[in-house]
């Protein structure tokens, strides 16, 4: 019986969470059991997702299986990219320096600012009336 090596990592961005599992294979990328092209319609989103694979020259060498939830498309793309970068750095410690150099291993800490009481939104105030 052949043991399959599986590396998994978690990526987060805004309110999105992506659980990424990579196994050596043909380069198939599945997100929530759907192919990459069907899940992310925009070409820019797909380019962002495969960026860690291109940086480490492993495009087509790993099968990527992702479970992503929460947030919108941009948040999910960012979470997937971070999770994939972390998983690649686990399987090949030498690639960690290359991923760090292009800033793919750092989490984007920006979150939505909360609405303040007595205001219309986080920063916007109600219109001021003199009389």
| CATH classification at residue 18 | 3.30.230.10
Question: How many angstroms separate the Cα of 22 from the Cα of each of 14, 19, 53, 69, 109?
Answer: 23, 10, 11, 18, 25
pLDDT tens-digit profile, the chain (131 residues): 667 789 999 999 999 999 999 999 999 999 999 999 999 999 999 999 999 999 999 999 999 999 999 999 999 999 999 999 999 999 988 999 999 999 999 999 999 999 999 999 999 999 999 98
Query: In this structure, is residue 35 part of a structural domain?
Result: yes
User: Given this model, what pLDDT does residue 131 score?
Assistant: 85
For residue 50, give its domain range: 7-101
User: Given this model, what pLDDT does residue 1 score?
Assistant: 65
Count of structural domains within the chain: 1
Q: Cα separation of 92 and 95, whole Å?
A: 6
Query: In this structure, is residue 126 part of a structural domain?
Result: no
Query: In this structure, is residue 21 part of a structural domain?
Result: yes
Query: In this structure, is residue 107 part of a structural domain?
Result: no
Query: In this structure, is residue 2 part of a structural domain?
Result: no
User: Given this model, what pLDDT does residue 125 score?
Assistant: 95
Residue 84: closest CA among 65, 111, 112, 108: 65
User: Given this model, what pLDDT does residue 4 score?
Assistant: 78
Query: In this structure, is residue 110 part of a structural domain?
Result: no
């Amino acid at each position: 019986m052949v043991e399959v090596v599986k590396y998994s990592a978690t990526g987060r961005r805004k309110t999105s969470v992506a659980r990424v599992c990579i196994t050596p294979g043909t380069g198939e990328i599945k997100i929530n059991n759907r192919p990459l092209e069907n899940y992310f319609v925009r070409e820019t989103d797909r380019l962002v997702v495969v960026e860690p694979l291109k940086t480490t020259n492993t495009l087509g060498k790993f099968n990527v299986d992702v479970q992503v939830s929460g947030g919108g498309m941009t948040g999910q793309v960012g979470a997937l990219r971070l999770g994939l970068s972390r998983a690649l750095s686990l399987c090949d410690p030498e690639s960690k320096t290359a991923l760090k150099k292009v800033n793919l291993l750092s989490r984007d800490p920006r979150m939505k600012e909360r609405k303040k009481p007595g205001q219309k939104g986080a920063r916007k105030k109600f219109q001021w009336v003199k009389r």
